[in-house]
Structure 1
Amino acid sequence: MRKAKWVAAAAGVVLLVAGCGSEGGSEKGGSSSAGSTATGGSGSSGGAGGSSDEKVDAASVTKELTDAATGAGFTQDASGEQIPAELKNCMVSWTADAEKAADPKKSYDGTVATLTGGGWKESRSNEMNGSVIKSLAKGSWQLQASNHSQGPVKMVMFVAADNSPECAAAIAADNAKTKQP
């Protein structure tokens, strides 16, 4: 159950970041921790998430993440976060086995570079105490790429959520369910 709560918390972060700054703001706010994200909450406008003609779904996000991360030297941690069945079309979670990577920072940077080369747009980057969290967008999808491999506990995780109204409602409903005492 601990993992389900972590995924729900990560989904909440994705939605929080995806929802921030949707009333205008600059798309160039990229590296400022107080800047706005580049995508708004109303899916069809495209925002900085790429072409609205491009179909992005959970299967394509999973494939892109897997190809980018494994190509950069990561293996997937089989005990990583599991997405609830009712959210499988709205969320993707890919946890790297950072302990097995030769250089987790280099593999993280390589994964992000491959994703941005493949059409994902970086909208925000935050670095604190050796941890890095980058927000990327493609279509209606928001991706949080987290690298916490500098300390004693090494964790690299990629969590993506579809920001479409249907998925936002499904994720909010699931988060409300997991907050029950």
Structure 2
Amino acid sequence: MRKAMVVAAAAGVVLLVAGCGSNGGSDKGGSSAGTGGSSSAGSTTGGSEAGGGEELTADAVRTEIETAATGAGFVQDATGEQIPPGLEKCMVSWTADAKKAADPKKSYTDTVAALGKGDWKPGQNISQGGSTIQTMTKGTWQLKASDHSMGPVKMVMFIASDSTPVCEALFKADLEKNKKS
């Protein structure tokens, strides 16, 4: 339960940062096809602004992260973060079991490099106190790759969120719901 709250809080942070537009708004589009009710949030649209007409879904993002991370030597943590109900089509969370990686820092760097080769564009990179957070974007998706493996707590996470208007509305509704609980 506590992990779900951490993911919800992380979603809020990702949403707020995504709203700031580190790419000058170039990763946002006003013509998202998901204009129906909340059930349309799961449509396969959302990445068409990436150029080339590619439509990026949560499943595709999850596969790209998993392929890059496992190729770099990570194994997914079976107890990893769960996405809050209703946000599954707008958010992806993939937690590495950093303790099982031979060199978590190298695996993290290799995962980020592999994602870059898969057209994820690097954005802001913050390194402080042995932790690193790399922001990457692809289409309407923003990814926060975080490495906190240098200290006693070994944690490497990849959290991606879709910034389409439909998903932003769902994130906002989820945050409001959690404020009331």
Cα RMSD, aligned residues only: 1.7
Q: Is the 8 A contact 1:18 1:39 kept in 2?
A: no
Q: Is the 8 A contact 1:94 1:157 kept in 2?
A: yes
* CA distance 1:82–1:19, change in 2 (3 Å): same
AA paired with 1:155?
A: M
Q: How many Å separate the matches in 1 of 2:23 and 2:81?
A: 27
Return the match for 2:23 from 11, 16, 38. Answer: 38
Residue 73 in structure 1 maps to residue 73 in structure 2: yes
Q: C-alpha offsets along residues 47-75 of structure 1, whole Å, 9 cap, x if unaligned? A: xx832611111010000000000000000
Match in the other structure for 1:106:
106
Q: C-alpha offsets along residues 116-171 of structure 1, whole Å, 9 cap, x if unaligned? A: 10000011100000100010000000000000000000000000000000001001
Match in the other structure for 2:143:
143
Q: Is the 8 A contact 2:8 2:84 kept in 1?
A: no
Task: Number of aligned residue pairs: give it.
Answer: 164
Q: How many Å separate the matches in 1 of 2:4 and 2:15?
A: 16
Q: How many Å separate the matches in 1 of 2:167 and 2:81?
A: 19
Gaps of 5+ in 2: 32-45
Higher helix fraction (1 or 2):
2
- Please give the TM-score of this superposition, normalised by the length of structure 2: 0.86
SS at match of 1:161: strand
Structure 1: 4+ residue segments shifted above 2 A: 39-46
Deviation at 1:175, TM superposition (A): 1.4
Match in the other structure for 1:32:
none
Deviation at 1:95, TM superposition (A): 0.2
Q: How many Å separate the matches in 2 of 1:95 and 1:109?
A: 15
Residue 165 in structure 1 maps to residue 165 in structure 2: yes
Deviation at 1:42, TM superposition (A): 3.5
Deviation at 1:101, TM superposition (A): 0.5
| Fraction of identical pairs, as percent | 59
- Please give the TM-score of this superposition, normalised by the length of structure 1: 0.86
AA paired with 1:43?
A: G
Match in the other structure for 1:3:
3
Match in the other structure for 1:31:
none
Gaps of 5+ in 1: 23-36
SS at match of 2:136: strand
* CA distance 1:39–1:145, change in 2 (3 Å): farther
